[in-house]
């Protein structure tokens, strides 16, 4: 929770707030890749003709558009629910019967690692800022950052389809297209792993390889389950 006035305005974004954090971006790209790969990896190299490939690629793109829309809507719902929870916390702190109880509510709302780094004096400063006489929105509302985030989610899911399907459009040789598509998918998974490692302080190469393994496993499981 931030003591700045903007923390209580649930309709306006906090200055400098990111539309999507690196973990969310990697997650959406991974989701889109897996959805596309569940189509391309079921192609029969020996039997697939151009008509079958066109039908499959159209299905892959349509599927990712649909799931991108679903994911974007769920992003908005989550943003609204999260902002509503923040309002509830503010109201609970203001209604606390004692300063100690107010500090406890703030402490419980924080992640354990962040909370452990703060002292009682820090929590008291936050509590005083929260209980200061300022207007608080009566209910949570979506702001422009939320809509931008939903659009980013949709585009990430949809656009992540194209790198793995374009080889099937460019190359008439199906085995070559399959190898190129898979190589692009592995490269994107590696990049996702590197981005995640930088954000989370993990080992880059180990995380990149783990991301590739995770992606392959999820594709295999999805295909096995009929996805």
CA distance 61 to 119: 52
Statement: residue 11 has pLDDT above 80: no
pLDDT at 13 (0 to 100): 44
Question: Is residue 20 domain-resident?
Answer: no
Question: Is residue 18 domain-resident?
Answer: no
3-state secondary structure 55-90: HHHHHHHHHHHHHHHHHHHHHHHHHHHHHHHHHHHH
* Spatial CA neighbour of 31 closest among 219, 225, 186, 163: 219
- Could you tell me the residue range of the domain that residue 200 belongs to? 5-11+26-224
How many domains is the chain built from?
Answer: 1
Contact of 186 with 212, CB cutoff 8 Å: yes
Rounded mean pLDDT of 156-176? 84
Question: Is residue 58 domain-resident?
Answer: yes
The H or E element spanning position 106 is: helix 99-109
| Mean pLDDT computed over every residue of the chain | 80
Question: Is residue 16 domain-resident?
Answer: no
Statement: residue 195 has pLDDT above 70: yes
Write out pLDDT tens, residues 59-74: 888 888 988 899 899 9
pLDDT at 7 (0 to 100): 42
pLDDT at 8 (0 to 100): 45
Write out pLDDT tens, residues 17-34: 456 777 777 778 887 887
Rounded mean pLDDT of 199-222? 83
Using 50, 70 and 90 to split pLDDT, how confident is the model at 216?
Answer: confident
Write out pLDDT tens, residues 118-138: 888 888 899 888 888 877 777
pLDDT at 2 (0 to 100): 42
pLDDT at 29 (0 to 100): 80
Using 50, 70 and 90 to split pLDDT, how confident is the model at 46?
Answer: very low
pLDDT at 172 (0 to 100): 79
pTM: 0.71
* Spatial CA neighbour of 165 closest among 25, 24, 62, 26: 62
Question: Is residue 116 domain-resident?
Answer: yes
């Amino acid at each position: 929770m931030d003591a700045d006035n903007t923390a209580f305005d649930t309709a306006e974004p906090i200055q400098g707030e990111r539309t999507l954090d690196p973990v969310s971006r990697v997650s959406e790209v991974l989701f889109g890749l897996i959805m596309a790969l569940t189509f391309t990896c079921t192609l029969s190299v020996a039997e697939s003709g151009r008509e079958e490939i066109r039908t499959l690629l159209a299905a892959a793109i349509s599927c990712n558009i649909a799931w991108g829309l679903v994911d974007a809507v769920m992003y908005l719902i989550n943003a609204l629910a999260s902002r509503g929870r923040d309002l509830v916390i503010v109201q609970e702190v203001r209604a606390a019967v004692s300063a100690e109880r107010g500090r406890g509510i703030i402490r419980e709302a924080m992640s354990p690692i962040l909370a452990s780094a703060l002292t009682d004096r820090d929590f008291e400063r936050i509590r005083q800022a929260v209980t200061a006489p300022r207007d608080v929105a009566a209910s949570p509302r979506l702001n422009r950052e939320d809509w931008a985030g939903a659009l980013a989610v949709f585009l990430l899911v949809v656009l992540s389809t194209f790198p793995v399907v374009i080889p099937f459009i460019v190359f008439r040789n199906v085995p070559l297209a399959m190898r190129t598509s898979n190589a692009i998918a592995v490269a994107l998974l590696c990049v996702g792993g590197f981005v995640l490692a930088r954000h989370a302080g993990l080992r880059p190469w180990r995380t990149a390889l783990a991301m590739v393994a995770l992606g392959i496993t999820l594709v295999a499981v999805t295909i096995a389950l009929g996805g």
